[in-house]
Amino acid sequence: MQVKDKVVIVTGAGSGIGRATALHFAHFGAKVVVSDIDLEKAQKVADEIVTNFGESLPIKANVAQYEEVENLIQHTVTAFGRLDVMVNNAGIGPKQLLKTAEHTLEDWEAVIAVNQTGVFYGMKLALQQMLKQGSGNIVNVASLAGLKASINNLSYSASKFAVVGMTKSAALEYAKTGIRINAVCPGYTESALLDKLLSARPDMDTMLKSIIPMKRYGDAKEIADAIVWLASDQTKFMTGQTLILDGGTSL
């Protein structure tokens, strides 16, 4: 992967896909800012990178707060002089899986704030820095739920459909500036979100695997591999795309 010495921010990097992505970038020589709402988790990932690969910096940020995302970008540029790659990965699911009429306002507001508005903040502020540089790369983590209907999960589905749309719109706007913007759409992947779902509904494990043609969940490292590839110089003619990684579920 051609990402050596690139300065990369990964949000939600304290666990799951974010952690795997941060480690994967570092493995290929990138300088990684590990951002998470939980600074202790971010610190552990950054320490792992420093011990095994190279440079890393942990920064606490709640992506639903504009000022915290602004600080994240500014701190990164102060430390490393630039921002080459922004991975908007931080995301949450609703506390309760309910049909639309019963969907709680609390879940709607929280999920949209992180998954949709948080990605907007990350894109907006990263783009401002990348325009100054004349180059950059953004990878947004959407979901299969942003491409297909997802019952009892309206806020999550709405937010991920929005991420796909924002990716395409912004990619078109900035294609001629040297900035590329793409998204990945994971299917059911081993992560904190899936663990939460299965702990609430253990019976869903067999059901979910039955609808995945590969009969297994995705591994966070497999999603990370796609994210790093999209951010690398090996995909210079690729922008506005949504890469589906779902074990064939969408088929």
- Residue 201 covered by a domain: no
Query: What pLDDT, on the 0 to 100 scale, is given for residue 93?
Result: 92
Q: How many domains does the chain have?
A: 1
Nearest to 88 by CA among 231, 196, 217, 236: 231
Round the average pLDDT of the chain to a whole number and report it: 95
- Residue 205 covered by a domain: no
- Residue 44 covered by a domain: yes
Q: Is the pLDDT of residue 164 over 80?
A: yes
Query: What pLDDT, on the 0 to 100 scale, is given for residue 3?
Result: 98
9: pLDDT confidence band, cut at 50, 70 and 90? Answer: very high
Place of tokens 């009892």: 152
Strands (E), 94-240: 136-141, 179-186
Q: Bigger pLDDT: 160 or 218?
A: 160
Q: Mind listing the pLDDT tens digit for each residue in 140-155?
A: 999 999 999 989 999 9
- Residue 17 covered by a domain: yes
Tell me how far apart the terminal alpha carbons of the chain are, to the nearest angstrom: 29
Query: What pLDDT, on the 0 to 100 scale, is given for residue 201?
Result: 75
Q: Is the pLDDT of residue 208 over 90?
A: no
Q: Mind listing the pLDDT tens digit for each residue in 63-115?
A: 999 999 999 999 999 999 999 999 999 999 999 989 999 999 999 999 999 99
Query: What pLDDT, on the 0 to 100 scale, is given for residue 196?
Result: 72
199: pLDDT confidence band, cut at 50, 70 and 90? Answer: confident
Q: Is the pLDDT of residue 47 over 90?
A: yes
Q: Is the pLDDT of residue 200 over 80?
A: no
Find the Cα–Cα–Cα–Cα dihedral 187, 145, 172, 86, rounded to 10°. Answer: -60
Q: Is the pLDDT of residue 205 over 90?
A: no
Domain, as residue range, for 148: 7-188+218-245
- Residue 250 covered by a domain: no
Query: What pLDDT, on the 0 to 100 scale, is given for residue 57?
Result: 98
CATH number for the domain including 18?
A: 3.40.50.720
Q: Show which residues are catalytic.
A: 156
- Residue 38 covered by a domain: yes
Give how far Cα 35 sits from Cα of 13, 39, 43, 73, 162, Å.
Answer: 6, 8, 9, 10, 22
Query: What pLDDT, on the 0 to 100 scale, is given for residue 204?
Result: 76
β-strands 85-88, 7-10 pairing = parallel
Helices 154-174 and 118-133 cross at an angle (nearest 10°) of 10
- Residue 130 covered by a domain: yes
Query: What pLDDT, on the 0 to 100 scale, is given for residue 81?
Result: 98
Report the pLDDT averaged over residues 240-249.
96
- Residue 207 covered by a domain: no
Q: pTM, whole model, 2 decimals? A: 0.95
Q: Is the pLDDT of residue 54 over 90?
A: yes
Q: Mind listing the pLDDT tens digit for each residue in 182-194?
A: 999 999 888 777 7
